[in-house]
Chain A
Amino acid sequence: MNGLWENVAKLLELCSAKVAGIFAGNAGLFSYLEMTAGLFTFLVRGIFPLLTAAVLFLCISSLLQNRKEDKIWGYLLAKDGSRIPLKHWENSLGRSKMSDIVIAFAFVSRSHAVLTFRNGVWHITDVGSKGGVEVNGAKVEKSDLVNYGDTISFAGLEMVLAPAEEAGPGRKETAPVSPSPLDKQNKSGLAFTLILLFQILGAVQICISLGEGLVPAVPVTFLIFILSECLFYITVCWWGRGSFDLELLLFFLCGLGLFNIASANPDFLYKQLVAIYLGIVAYTVIGAVIKDPERARKLKYALVATAVVLLALNLTIGETYFGAKRWVDLGFTTFQPSEFVKIAFVMAGTATLDRLLTTRNMTAFIIFAGVCIGALVLMRDFGTVVVFFGAFIVIAFMRSGDLRTIAFISSGAAIGALAVISFIPYIASRFAVWGKVWEYADTAGYQQTRTMIAAASGGLMGVGTGNGFLANVAAAETDLAFGMLCEEWGLLVALMIALVFVFFAIYAVFLAKGCRSSLYAIAACGAASMLLLQAALNILGPMDILPLTGITLPFVSRGGSSMVATWGLLALLKSAGNRFNAGGAGDMT
């Protein structure tokens, strides 16, 4: 804190000296401007961490409050007159305590049946029960339609399906405690305003910092970006559709990425801007397509097929940079197929509850995972291998709940990893310096040491965007993006950004609880785990806590393919939060 007061004192001293200089007539307009610029930097440095904290708090608290009231989609009426609410689109029934509807009779199987609500109709699926399932006395072989009023018998235990409306007005079992929509709107509006303020101040700051090195692309990019955000905001408000706090968070992250690029490599600003727009398109399209679980299932197969083609393409005609064969050159632009495969990978792991409990077998997914990871190993993209494997663990566990198999696969992977570490020189050298980068400060530890030096130079509040030196290190705005945040925006802002990725994971788990279909729950968790691991590798690698892998910080790092793919992944997270009417009548909550 003393440092702060010292700066205040220094500032006053400087100002008085300058003012005295102006009166003495030996200082021109230029030095006056300079003084104003210095004053500006001094003031905004303190504001940025506060704005960041406020934006994150508003968005995150609003998202976590966003829990929709427990909506009832139908009832099962038991013989004794009790009424069992159906709270999901997919409800498992059985003796097991983990079932959504627990039927504690010995003759009912642990996992007996699944009641699914799709497009306004209910289906019952027998998931391999011993006693069988009957609808109106007719045995259900695999899956059958159930109408309201029909009697379903679970190994002899009879229940009647009743619609939600009959239960009386409101259809809501508990009164919602969520805040009024107006209040929420205000909160989001405030968050949006603060983001704009952050970006406008940041844009002015970076123009000041770059000084003579300022190219027109910098102010133009920020102008376009900020205007686009306003347009987005006006559109959603006018549309009146649901909450958009998640999107605001993403805009905030993308904005920080633009600042990094403006500081390090302004030539790429327009490209990044286009990538953001493409990302938003991907986000919207994927979000719309997977609204319907049936359509999502079809999309899954299309994506898997595309992924296999893309990977094959990458391996045959891919370009090699920095020892990794990750890029495909399309003539006008290059792209990284492995980024798009991420979405296919997560989708491939999803399954609706009825299928998940019927087949219980993940062979197809394991094979696909093996193909993806194998291809990535051939491409030498080991950071992404770790990300895929992490997502695989999450998805496989959510599907099977089988720790033993996962431990088995993991140990196999560990052996494979060990082989890779010891036999591939490019990886071996990275592991060799891990933990002792300062001994190799100018060779294999170059990027790590520069990142740490730069981060330390930033202190808690940063040296101001555009004033860092890490920007001049190769790949700073991609692989070392977190280091740039530390140096230019300060440790406080950087750590808060890191916590956003932790939040995505927590949010996915939070959403999984009230999800319509297990498909969305798995997709959201798979996507969040990818983002989380990618962030972890990008943040902890250059800080020498993990071995360095050239990997991007989602939304912040420069990289077109990565940007589009991460927006796509976020669409999966977002869809887990949507809970509109199964009938598709547009009943939004």
Chain B
Amino acid sequence: MNLVSKRAAVLLFFSLLLLIGLSIFSIRYFHKASTWIQHPANKHLFENGKLLSQGAIYDRRGNILVQINDGSINFNEDKTVRTALMHVTGDLGNNVETGALVAFRDKLSGWNIVNGLYSLDKRTISGKEISLTLDAGLCALAYNKLGNRQGAVGVYNYKTGEILCLASSPSFDPLNPPDVKGNPGKYEGVYINRFLSSAYTPGSVFKLVTAAAAIDNIDDNENKTYLCEGNLQIGKDAVTCMSSHGEVTLEQALANSCNCAFARIAIELGKGKLQEYANRAGFNSSLAIDGIKTAVGKVDLAEAKEIDLAWAGIGQYTNTANPLNFMAFMGAIAHNGMRVAPQIIQGGEELLFINTPKKERILSPQTAERLKQMMRNNTLSVYGEGNFKGLELCAKSGTAQVGGEKKPHAWFAGFLDREDFPLAFVVVVENSGSGVKFAAPIAASVLQQAINY
């Protein structure tokens, strides 16, 4: 009997197979159920292919951004709001993948993992009302300020993670979709939310990453000086500044955005340290904003030679940055090195029992404090406090060379050092020119409006 009963264990192997199958099924279920329910064959949600649910999306002030009623989709009454928030809501053709109509379709349907599509009142499958953290007015202003230029603007609360303002240009009125294919220049990448889904060459704003590494890794960096002669020869190539800055400290180098000094710093740090701080700042990884993943900004120094490392240290080489991810890095500097994950839905993910914003320490409090002082100094000594009255602005500009005949991308990123308005921001204007000239004014008006509400 012993013999036979021992051999019976072969049956356990079979049951293990079923258990594995059930685990695969459960994992898939938890990941994909929200997608599965959206199929038009779902009789709980669709009748003859027509959506039955009654969902709506509001901004933080209760303005309707989009509403689904008896299968038809209604947008905000104001054309500017509709256009400015087209990337947030999505268009009627569902071309914007990060748009709420696509990305939050499951939530709009009223589905959740616990109750499925069960609803109390059987006949009206009541969809859900989603309130976003965005302020439609602020978004519209930012979109208007971008004007005809392509680019992105974002503002978020670095303590709570709430995104207040988001704009991506070009856009269009979802009620009157233009001939996108017929105007490839004007509507280049119009379905992409540039704030979430693009990655630009960062240029000088990346010096903040290099500076963070320098603060932690270079001895006596407060007093150490670097010589800038307007030109730093490395092998056959050279890194240049507009003019010679002379002997500069780290703080001065950041304020003057001195390329030669930061090139020296990058080389002094070496590939490993710069790569480490880039990764910590959020490069080479994606953030999930209520389930929507951002594009990945890249810094890859594996193959970099000395001159490449120098260029990488000042935000050129092959570096790219995602605006939202970079904004979150600004938030981390403002928030003692703690990065609060940005979110766009009020109350956040509802799967969890408790909603606490996801926090991650990416810099030490001392490093963050030092960077903050340096960025404040930038405003006071270079950008001009008068241009940002009352904002307590800490910032860094960037003018990212994109090669060829094209004009550089203008960047302006930073935060307000104010307890009552803990806001971090980013502005990118494509192919426009200097960051201080083209991006900073947009930031100034949007932020002034944000604190004057």
Contacts and interface: CB of A to CB of B under 8 A. Distances in A.
Nearest to B36: A456
Contacts of B115: 3-4, 7, 459-461
A509 B11 contact: yes
A545 B24 contact: yes
B4 A398 contact: yes
B10 interface: yes
Contact of A459 (B3, B6, B11, B118): B118
Interface residues of B, number: 51
A353 B4 contact: yes
Contact of B113 (A453, A459, A499, A514): A459
Interface in B394-434: none
Interface in B110-142: 111-122, 126
A490 B446 CA distance: 48
Given A91-B1, A545-B24, A462 B116 contact: yes
A528 B5 CA distance: 14
6 contacts: A98-B6, A353-B1, A393-B10, A394-B14, A509-B5, A529-B14
A469 B42 CA distance: 8
B47 to A, nearest CB: 11
A319 interface: no
A459 B1 contact: no
Interface in B1-33: 1-12, 14-15, 17-19, 21-22, 24-26, 28-29, 32-33
Given A88-B1, A393-B10, A495 B22 contact: yes
Contacts of B15: 502, 505-506, 532
Given A456-B37, A540-B25, A38 B5 contact: no
Interface string A431-457: 000000000011000000110111111
Contacts of A268: none
Interface stretch (A52-60, A320-328, A517-525, A552-560): A517-525
B25 A545 contact: yes
A3 B114 contact: yes
A144 interface: no
A454 B11 CA distance: 32
A522 B4 contact: yes
Among B3, B6, B19, B44, which residue has the most Cβ atoms of chain A within 10 A?
Answer: B3
Given A10-B120, A498-B22, A460 B5 contact: no
A561 to B, nearest CB: 23
Nearest to B4: A518
Contact of B5 (A2, A515, A545): A515
A11 interface: yes
Contact of B36 (A393, A453, A463, A506): A453
A452 B33 CA distance: 8
B34 interface: yes
A501 B18 contact: yes
B3 A98 contact: yes
B38 to A, nearest CB: 9
Contacts of B305: none
Interface string A527-559: 011001101100110010110000000000000
A398 B1 contact: no
A42 interface: yes
A459 B14 contact: no
Among A353, A452, A501, which residue has the most Cβ atoms of chain B within 10 A?
Answer: A452
B218 to A, nearest CB: 48
B360 interface: no
A42 B37 contact: no
B112 A401 contact: no
A92 interface: yes
A450 B41 contact: yes
Contacts of B26: 491, 495
A4 B117 CA distance: 12
Contact of A394 (B2, B10, B350): B10
Contacts of B453: none
A521 B34 CA distance: 45
Contacts of A460: 113-116
Contact of A3 (B6, B24, B44, B350): B350
Contacts of B353: 1
Given A522-B4, A528-B11, A453 B114 contact: no
Nearest to A92: B3
B1 A518 contact: yes
B241 to A, nearest CB: 54
Among A2, A441, A463, A499, which residue has the most Cβ atoms of chain B within 10 A?
Answer: A2
- Top 4 closest pairs, chain A to chain B, by CB: A459-B116, A456-B33, A469-B43, A456-B36
Interface in A94-118: 96, 98-100
Contacts of A220: none
